[in-house]
Structure 1
Amino acid sequence: MLIQPEKIRPKDESILLSICIATLNRGDFIAETLNSIVSQLTVDTELLVVDGASKDSTPDVMAKYVQEYSQVRYIQEQENSGFDADFDKAVSYAKGTFCWLMTDDDILVPGAISRVREELVSNNLELLVVDAEVRDINLERILQLSRMFLEKDHYFEQSCDQFLEVAGDQLSFIASVIVRRDTWLKRERNRFYGSLFVHVGVLLQSPPLEGVKVLSEPLIQIRYGNASWTARAFEIWLFIWPNLIWSFEQFSERSKAKVCARYPWKNLMQLLKHRARGSYSTREFENFIENRASGIEKAQAFIVAKIPEPIANFAAVAYVVILSRQSRLGLGDLLDSEHASWASKLLARLLPLSKIGG
Structure 2
Amino acid sequence: MNADVPKLSICIATLNRAAFIAETLDTIVPQLRHDTELVIVDGASTDGTDGVIAPYAAADARVRYVRLERNSGVDQDYDIAVSQARGDYCWLMTDDDLLKPGAVDRVLAALDGSRDMVVVNTEVRTVDFSGALSAGLVGTRHDVEYAAEDRDRLLRETAHALSFIGCVVIRRAFWMSRDRARYYGSLFVHVGVIFQAEAPRTLVIGEPLISIRYGNAMWTARGFEIWMFKWPGLIWSFPNLEDASKSRICAREPWRQLRKLWLYRSIGGYAPDQYRRFLAPQPMTAWSRTLSRGIAAVPPALANAVSSAYCFLVARHARMNIYDLARSANASFVSRAVAKAVGF
Give the structure 2 partner of residue 293 of structure 1.
283
Name the CA distance, whole Å, in 2 between partners of 1:79 and 1:340. 37
SS state at 1:27 partner: coil
Work out which of the residue numbers 97, 102, 105 in structure 1 matches 2:93. Answer: 102
For the structure 1 residues 306 and 327, does the alpha-carbon distance in structure 2 shift closer, same or farther, using more than 3 Å as the test? Answer: same
Q: Structure 1 regions of 5+ residues with no counterpart?
A: 1-10
1:308 corresponds to 2:299: yes
Q: Is the 8 A contact 2:12 2:93 kept in 1?
A: yes
Shift of 1:13: 5.5
For the structure 1 residues 343 and 321, does the alpha-carbon distance in structure 2 shift closer, same or farther, using more than 3 Å as the test? Answer: closer
Give the structure 2 partner of residue 230 of structure 1.
220
Work out which of the residue numbers 244, 255, 274 in structure 1 matches 2:245. Answer: 255
Shift of 1:14: 2.8
Q: Is the 8 A contact 1:156 1:212 kept in 2?
A: yes
Give the structure 1 partner of residue 316 of structure 2.
325
Q: Is the 8 A contact 1:29 1:104 kept in 2?
A: yes
Q: Is the 8 A contact 1:13 1:97 kept in 2?
A: no
Q: Is the 8 A contact 2:125 2:132 kept in 1?
A: yes
Shift of 1:342: 1.7
How many residue pairs get matched? 341
SS state at 2:238 partner: coil
Percent identity, aligned pairs only, is 44
Give the structure 1 partner of residue 264 of structure 2.
274
Work out which of the residue numbers 196, 207, 210 in structure 1 matches 2:187. Answer: 196
Q: Deviations over 1:290-312 (max 9, x none)?
A: 12132222111101000000011
Q: What TM-score, normalized to structure 2?
A: 0.96
Shift of 1:348: 5.2
SS state at 1:236 partner: helix
Name the CA distance, whole Å, in 1 between partners of 2:253 and 2:177. 32
Give the structure 2 partner of residue 142 of structure 1.
132
For the structure 1 residues 318 and 99, does the alpha-carbon distance in structure 2 shift closer, same or farther, using more than 3 Å as the test? Answer: same
Please give the residue correspondences for 1:79-158 in structure 2 after superposition, counting only pairs within 5 Å: 79-121=70-112, 124-158=114-148
1:343 corresponds to 2:331: no
Q: Is the 8 A contact 2:322 2:338 kept in 1?
A: no
1:73 corresponds to 2:38: no
Shift of 1:343: 3.4
Q: What's the RMSD between the two structures over aligned residues?
A: 1.5
Q: What TM-score, normalized to structure 1?
A: 0.92
Give the structure 2 partner of residue 30 of structure 1.
21
Shift of 1:84: 0.6
Name the CA distance, whole Å, in 2 between partners of 1:76 and 1:343. 45
Q: Is the 8 A contact 1:12 1:97 kept in 2?
A: no
Q: Deviations over 1:78-124 (max 9, x none)?
A: 11111111000000000000000000000000000000000003x51
Give the structure 2 partner of residue 18 of structure 1.
9
Give the structure 1 partner of residue 207 of structure 2.
217
Shift of 1:347: 5.1
Q: Structure 2 regions of 5+ residues with no counterpart?
A: none
Q: Is the 8 A contact 2:116 2:171 kept in 1?
A: yes
Name the CA distance, whole Å, in 1 between partners of 2:66 and 2:169. 21
What code does the residue aligned with 1:100 have? W
Name the CA distance, whole Å, in 2 between partners of 1:298 and 1:214. 42
Name the CA distance, whole Å, in 1 between partners of 2:185 and 2:9. 24
